[in-house]
Chain A
Amino acid sequence: MARGIEVAAPPEIASGGVPPRKPRQRSSRRKRIELTVLLVPPLALFIGFVIVPMVFAVWYSLYNWNGYGPLTDFIGLQNYRGVLTGQVFHQALVHNVIIAVLSVVIQLPISIGLALLLNRRMRGRGALRLAVFTPYVLSQATSAVMWLMLLSHGGPVDALLKSAGLGALVHFWLASTSLVLYSLFFVVSWQFIGFGIVLLLAGLQGIPPELREAAAIDGATAWQATRRVVLPLLGPTIRIWIFLAVIGSLQLFDIVWIMTLGGPADSSQTMLTYLYFNGVERTQFGYGATISVVLFVISFVFALVYQRYALRRDTAGALTRAVQ
């Protein structure tokens, strides 16, 4: 915008007929106005809807409060001791970490493989892309109710396995304390894999085909071109996907709450189901606020560390080291 004004300046201004600083003054004033107009509303929203609630959460977390009446029962860090030493919270945290690790180890390779496949020219590519993306469009509540019915004992999934002669694989998908978390991971993957694929497809679109062609001319096999050219260039997208997947795993709630309520026997409890049950359902708002603060700190620390060590090159505009 400012550059446009300078270019449009008439010749006599540049030659000194009018004081030369005036356009710049106007431009800097205009810049200030622009900054004010553009920055103040989002900043106000951010402060009002992010910073202030966070401060409130920290404040509430120091009280024993059931949501009714004023905050009077100040208990210091007692809620934090309760959360951090609580066995169920530890279980919930481990479950979140398991889901996050499984997402990266299992979902990511599948997403990359399918994205590479769907990036090729082939018949029915549009339909296939639609098919993998459709679950992501559904609301999590819809998916959860659907899979709750499908995975019920003796339900459609069991019937399908039996009809395929795989009756030995039939299990108590949601009733077994040792299996339920993995059943939920399957549903979460089913729901979100489409998002990963679309993200990676967008990343693939940004890779110039000439690079592949050049690699082919240099004698690289298709696998070598993928491994040495495509995947390194896809690095920024993959790193963003990992970031989103881990944060999403830490905040897993809807599907778990609807399908299992964190049970049986807390075997699928996540930090957020634990928060919702103790904070909202049991109306222990002080305790709930404490869990939310702990969850925030965990997510924030992960985000900072990840930004510092994994995303810095991407956000600085660099490609990956392999192609630099």
Chain B
Amino acid sequence: MRINPKVAAISVAATMSLAIAACSSSGGSSSTNNAGSGSTSSSGSTAKITLTWQNNGTSQPLLGIWQAVVTGFHAAHPNITIANNPMQNELFKTKIPIELKSDNPPDIYQQWGGGAEATQIQSGKLTNLTQYVSSWIGMVGKAAAGWQVNGQQYGVPYDQHVVGFWYRKDLFAKAGITTTPTTIPQLISDDAQLKAHGIAPMGLGGQSQWPDAFWWEYFAVRECPESVVNQAMTSQNLSAPCFSKATTDLTSFMATNPFEAGFNGVAAQSSPTSSAGLLANGKVAMELQGDWEPGEVLGDTTNKNIDSLLGWFPFPAIPGGQGPASAVLGGGDGWSCTTGAAEPACAEFLQYIDSTAVQQQLVTKASIGIPANPAAESAITSPAVKAAAQAHDNAAYVAGYFDQALPTNPGLALDAALANFFAGKGNNSTIINSVSSSSGH
């Protein structure tokens, strides 16, 4: 290929000027991070800060909402620039560890809290936000606890999730079920009633594996006192007898064949043949899933009225269980800042996202389900989502998804052991031992 010398010269000059510009901008920084660096503005009086923000809003409506949030924040904070950098959700698992090892991690990134956050702190790159958020974190309420490690706030949530039963009101009515079950025996009885009317009771996306874990974890939350669950997550030890009782409960429940045929090969989401799609298309009457289910089913069916057909009820109580019947299993989405970032500016941005006005926008336009700031819950219009949000607010406590509450390695070892159990491989001891012996493969 022939290269025109003039073009080459111009290219080199342009590259060099860009490099010089990049160097000069970091030269004026108060931080060591290029991406999160501040630079002296043209007037020379005000320090300008640029923060890179890595979130999973790659598609609408979230993509547009986050861009609007950035615009709104810029208007109120002219000296801070947020560079929105969306990334596919699944890439976070692989990219974050690599980015946190680099000298240039994103200044703000999506954080799901719990044990995974504790693992990430080992990189030494996460900002301890406690001092910056102490004046306002109270508006998030008890949700903030899921993003604390050893009492320190290394992340801040922007929404909350709760797992419960999403059911088809029309199919329940067809089977003559007038009230939702409040105990496991009632649930089993309702399953039988649905089957008697030719309706498959429950969908389960066993191919995706994580929905299997919801079941065992909820049985454990109902069988174990709160302190035992929390202790088990901290000590990474499931040897308390109530966890084995959860396996016994699950075994008995599965013996009633509540799930759709071939559930081990059914994905959880993103197609009409997924478990969410089965609910959306009336092939099953209910599914144990997170509060994101209404948004999910909407994409899996042509029935635009599906939202009005969906109802929600919490995981039923277990007679004799030591765990509070109102406790819920859940989690949420949030953010962490990295140490290179201009830390007060980063915290200001997180405060802006959790402000009531922005949170209401997220509820109405992005269907985030339950906002982290309870003051914004009034914006929820769907009665089913409202029921889920109320159950979350009134819960004795919120047990974090175990795979998130535990550090990553034992958490996923538990998920794998539970998925195997659902597929007929393993027993109670493989589940219990998966966490404590997660270094053994």
User: Contacts A148-B267, A260-B265, A283-B408; is A67 near B206 (CB within 8 Å)?
Assistant: no
A66 touches B122 (CB 8 A): yes
Q: Is A226 an interface residue (CB 8 A)?
A: no
B273 touches A265 (CB 8 A): no
Q: Is B413 an interface residue (CB 8 A)?
A: yes
Q: Is B409 an interface residue (CB 8 A)?
A: yes
User: Contacts A67-B101, A69-B123, A88-B441; is A263 near B262 (CB within 8 Å)?
Assistant: no
Which residue of chain B is the closest to A158 with respect to CB atoms?
Answer: B262
A264 touches B413 (CB 8 A): no
B265 touches A175 (CB 8 A): yes
Give B301 Cβ to nearest chain A Cβ, in Å.
14
Number of B residues, CB within 8 Å of A: 43
Residue interface mask B254-268, A partner, CB < 8 A = 1 = 000000111111110
* Cα distance A265–B418 in the bound complex, in angstroms: 9
Give A79 Cβ to nearest chain B Cβ, in Å.
9
B contact residues around A278 at 8 Å (CB): 441
B contact residues around A82 at 8 Å (CB): 439-441
* Cα distance A264–B418 in the bound complex, in angstroms: 11
Q: Is B40 an interface residue (CB 8 A)?
A: no
Consensus secondary structure, chain A interface: loop
Q: Is A113 an interface residue (CB 8 A)?
A: no
* Cα distance A26–B94 in the bound complex, in angstroms: 53
B267 touches A277 (CB 8 A): no
Residue interface mask A253-282, B partner, CB < 8 A = 1 = 000000111011111000000000110111
Q: Is B320 an interface residue (CB 8 A)?
A: no
Which of A36-44, A149-157, A214-222 lies at the interface with chain B?
A149-157
* Cα distance A267–B422 in the bound complex, in angstroms: 13
Q: Is A68 an interface residue (CB 8 A)?
A: yes
B contact residues around A281 at 8 Å (CB): 93, 408, 412
Give A146 Cβ to nearest chain B Cβ, in Å.
10
* Cα distance A253–B412 in the bound complex, in angstroms: 19
**Which of B94, B267, B271, B419 has the most chain A CB atoms closer than 10 A to its own CB?**
B267
Which residue of chain A is the closest to B441 with respect to CB atoms?
Answer: A86
A283 touches B97 (CB 8 A): yes
B209 touches A280 (CB 8 A): no
Q: Is A237 an interface residue (CB 8 A)?
A: no
| Interface residues, chain B, with chain A CB atoms under 8 Å away | 93-94, 97-98, 100-101, 119-120, 122-124, 206-209, 260-267, 271-273, 283, 408-409, 412-413, 416, 419-420, 422-426, 438-441
**23 residue pairs from A and B, CB less than 8 Å apart:** A64-B439, A68-B100, A68-B101, A88-B441, A89-B441, A148-B267, A148-B273, A175-B207, A175-B265, A175-B266, A180-B265, A263-B423, A264-B206, A264-B422, A266-B420, A266-B425, A277-B412, A280-B94, A282-B409, A283-B119, A283-B408, A284-B409, A287-B441
With A260-B265, A266-B425 given, name 16 new contacts (CB 8 A): A68-B119, A68-B120, A151-B265, A152-B265, A174-B207, A175-B263, A261-B208, A263-B207, A263-B419, A263-B420, A264-B206, A264-B264, A265-B424, A277-B412, A282-B412, A283-B409
4 closest A-B pairs by CB? A175-B265, A174-B265, A264-B423, A265-B425
